[in-house]
Amino acid sequence: MSLAAMVGAAMGCAPTTDGQLTYRVRADLDAPLNADTGWAAPTGEAVTIAADQPFRLRIEAGAGEADAGLHLQARRNGGEWQNLDAQAFPYPKRELELDFAEYAPGSALQGWLVRAGAADGLAIAQDGSDRVLRVRGGAAGLTATYAAPWPLPEFSYAARFRLPEGASEGAREGFALVFEHVDADNHGLVRLHPDRGITLVRISDGEEIVLARESVAIARGSWHEVEVKFEDGRIELGFDDRDLLAVPLPGIDGETGLAIPAGAEVDISRLTIEGVPSTPGVSIIATQAYDHGAATEDLLAGSSDPFAPGFGLSLRNRTPTWGGAEAHGEFEWPLVIRRFADGAALNESGDRFEFRMAGGQAANSAVAQLTLTVPPGHLGGTFVETPGRIGPWQAQNGDLYFIMEPTETDNKFMMVKSEDGGRSWREIDGRNRPQTGDLESVSGQMVEGRIHIVHQVTGSVRYHVFRTSDHPTDPDSWEIRDELAASEEAIAQTATMAVRSDQSVVAIFLADRLYYAIRSAEGSWGAPRVLDPGAEFINAGPQAVAGRGDVVHLAYFSDDGMIWYRCLLPDGTLTDRQELARGAGTSRAEYGAVLPLAYDAETDSVTIAYRLADGSLWERQVQGGSAPGPAVRISDRAVIADAVDSQQPAADLVADGGSLFALFVDEDTRSIFSTRRLGDRWEKPVLQVDGIAGSWVRGSIIRRPDGRSVYGYVYDAGSQGGAGFNRYGELSLDAE
């Protein structure tokens, strides 16, 4: 949804000597910085913006003295002003890799600040066919820092390095990784010396304190890797894929960098700085339209004070040094207001947001005002990584339910609900949600006002039950949370389940291979059993459904590229496995090759759809106890698989009476197509959602109040595994 202009007066502009500071909202995130295009509304006018839709804010600020940097602040619904953080969208990654092989010898090194020593001590050098950062201490030694784009209250800082061969005094000295650098008298060091090993040092008010030493062999002329990590009040050191030590260390703050003694030399091929990502309700994001720090021109018809060029910002929470007496400048910030934030916090339609610049010697700033709208069908949040059936389920009163996370950085288990046919969604009973987070593999089944759920994480399988709004005594509430079904360690997370007529539950899940466990009607779990004892393959990606007579139909993948089908009978015996297909692939990316099964109770038939390694989508049907029918190709389009670490096709299948319907994400376009089976063939696919980078889709049959049947589905439109792109759509199933 694009930004919609909303008629209104200029809002809250702070006065200057000759006029008013102002602002303007730009709808086009990709418009050139100084182009007079892509605006959402006239200068100084408020706009309505959509949740999870990036935009840019161009805002004027006045300054007195030169300032070390200004922040952008925001407040919601008249609350407290807060400095905005810079967090990437939609995937909140905080990792910066400096790969010096990508630099040309003699090229300028951006982002480095030499704190002590000569600037020419940092240079790109040719090293055979590769290029490296060559750091030389020179006559007085060298200390240089690199400012990460974000604060580093917790971090990982790693280097791939090589000390020179030779016996000169300089070659014997080694070098140091610098962390928490504030100034020359306050910083931390990881000293790496070819003879003395590794020493962890903290310098506080000029006093050197040795925190730890470790004797390791650092061979001259060989490449080594070192990593320093600070997390949860502890600093940890790793060297050449070994964990060396961990010591408590409070109060980390400052920049990372390098230090080298006089006469010494070191080659660095790669530096990596990682911070801690988060997903706030509002944040500064990145734009590809311009480089961070690019100069702005005087576009806005606001202040008449002299113009001092400001900056275009990108994934930074503070401007470069700026200012000038009796001057004003323009600053452009890429922003997003999210539907869901960490903590399952929610921004609502109608929320009012104000933005201003502040900090240091800034004299004043315009105050921009915006209003949020949540588009119909927009959920936001994060999709289950490897989903089975996760909704939307429909209660008897028409309410819809779906399972998801609020954000990638806060993997809470949420049951969200829509009371208006999928137009709007919110979490239900969040105070009592399961404590097991990280929705790696989740599958559920709704039975008589309850949604039974199996939930696998790396070390365990959990069972939850949610009561829907048509439950007779406890509507919209969690009944069972975090019940341990199994504690097997998983090589990958793929789980499914089936609920039988006596309310016993069968869970099938991957550990080192597939296991199944049964929860009795009385509520106790039996010991897990191997599904295919003695098999030489690793089986994975199970999908199950309970059929007539409590027969549990089960289909799954094996890593020799096979697709299998078998049944678990009510007496606990397993039928022989039957081969359905070959050529499904052999990698973990194909573990989930089988789609959730579609079952038609009237004919007691189950349809098993699966993807082969060439991208083709097929299905076979089993009716009653008969042999599987012939393989039928669902579409001539290739279906994407493992789009974002999901290890399964982005496709879904449902049955409605005797009809079958499928949705899938096309591998080439990433658009969503639909198709239905007519007789013994499938119709030509029809485009449903275009202009997205589809990654997941899950749905079910929904009955509308007017009697219409629709295929209601939730899809991820391109979050890259992050958050903000879950949306609800419908496919009409009625004959035209």
Residues 389, 411: Cα–Cα separation, whole Å? 19
Domain ranges of the chain: 4-91+283-373, 95-274, 386-732
Query: Residue 615's closest CA among 585, 595, 659, 578?
Result: 585
- What are the distances in angstroms from CA 735 to CA 37, 626, 670, 681? 45, 30, 27, 17
Residues 367, 72: Cα–Cα separation, whole Å? 11
Mean pLDDT of 444-459: 97
Query: What are the E-state strand segments in 679-708?
Result: 681-682, 686-689, 696-703
Where residue 10 falls among pLDDT bands split at 50, 70, 90? very low
pLDDT at 254: 84
pLDDT at 167: 52
pLDDT at 109: 87
pLDDT at 3: 35
pLDDT at 15: 35
Range of lowest pLDDT (4-13, 191-200, 206-215, 616-625): 4-13
Hey, how many other C-beta atoms are within 10 angstroms of the C-beta on 274? 19
Question: Taking 90 as the threshold, does the pLDDT of residue 115 lie above it?
Answer: yes
Residues 505, 179: Cα–Cα separation, whole Å? 53
Burial class (CB in 10 A: 0-12, 13-18, 19+), 231: middle
Question: Taking 70 as the threshold, does the pLDDT of residue 650 lie above it?
Answer: yes
Strand order in the sheet with 112-116: 112-116, 142-146, 255-260, 175-183, 186-193, 197-204, 207-214
Highest mean pLDDT range out of 8-22, 266-280, 323-337?
266-280
pLDDT at 13: 38
pLDDT at 549: 96
Where residue 147 falls among pLDDT bands split at 50, 70, 90? confident
pLDDT at 170: 53
Tens-place pLDDT, residues 209-228:
999 999 999 999 999 999 99
Rg of the chain in Å (alpha carbons): 30
Question: Taking 70 as the threshold, does the pLDDT of residue 118 lie above it?
Answer: yes
Question: Taking 70 as the threshold, does the pLDDT of residue 161 lie above it?
Answer: yes
Tens-place pLDDT, residues 665-683:
999 999 999 999 988 899 9
Where residue 361 falls among pLDDT bands split at 50, 70, 90? low
pLDDT at 360: 63
Question: Taking 60 as the threshold, does the pLDDT of residue 37 lie above it?
Answer: yes
Question: Taking 70 as the threshold, does the pLDDT of residue 65 lie above it?
Answer: no
pLDDT at 1: 38
Question: Taking 70 as the threshold, does the pLDDT of residue 640 lie above it?
Answer: yes
CA angle 72, 73, 77 (to 5 degrees): 145
Mean pLDDT of 223-248: 93
pTM of the model: 0.90
Residues 357, 84: Cα–Cα separation, whole Å? 10
Tens-place pLDDT, residues 243-261:
999 999 887 778 999 999 9
Residues 111, 103: Cα–Cα separation, whole Å? 14
Residues 502, 656: Cα–Cα separation, whole Å? 25
Residues 192, 174: Cα–Cα separation, whole Å? 6
Residues 6 or more apart whose Cβ sits within 8 Å of residue 685: 635, 637, 664, 666, 673, 674, 675
Mean pLDDT of 371-378: 98
Where residue 63 falls among pLDDT bands split at 50, 70, 90? confident
Q: Looking at the domain that runs over 4-91+283-373, which CATH code has it been given?
A: 2.60.40.770
Query: Residue 342's closest CA among 282, 429, 425, 286?
Result: 282
Tens-place pLDDT, residues 469-527:
999 999 999 999 999 999 999 999 999 999 999 999 999 999 999 999 999 999 999 99
Instruction: Please report, rounded to a whole number, the percentage of residues in the chain having pLDDT higher than 70.
Output: 95
Number of helical (H) and strand (E) elements in the chain, helices listed first: 0, 59
Question: Taking 80 as the threshold, does the pLDDT of residue 371 lie above it?
Answer: yes
Secondary structure letter of residue 305 according to DSSP: S
Output the average pLDDT for the chain: 93
In CATH, which of 2.120.10.70, 3.40.50.2300, 3.30.2290.10, 3.20.20.70 is domain 386-732? Answer: 2.120.10.70
Which CATH architecture fits 95-274? Answer: Sandwich (2.60)
Distance, CA of 706 to chain centre: 38
pLDDT at 363: 57
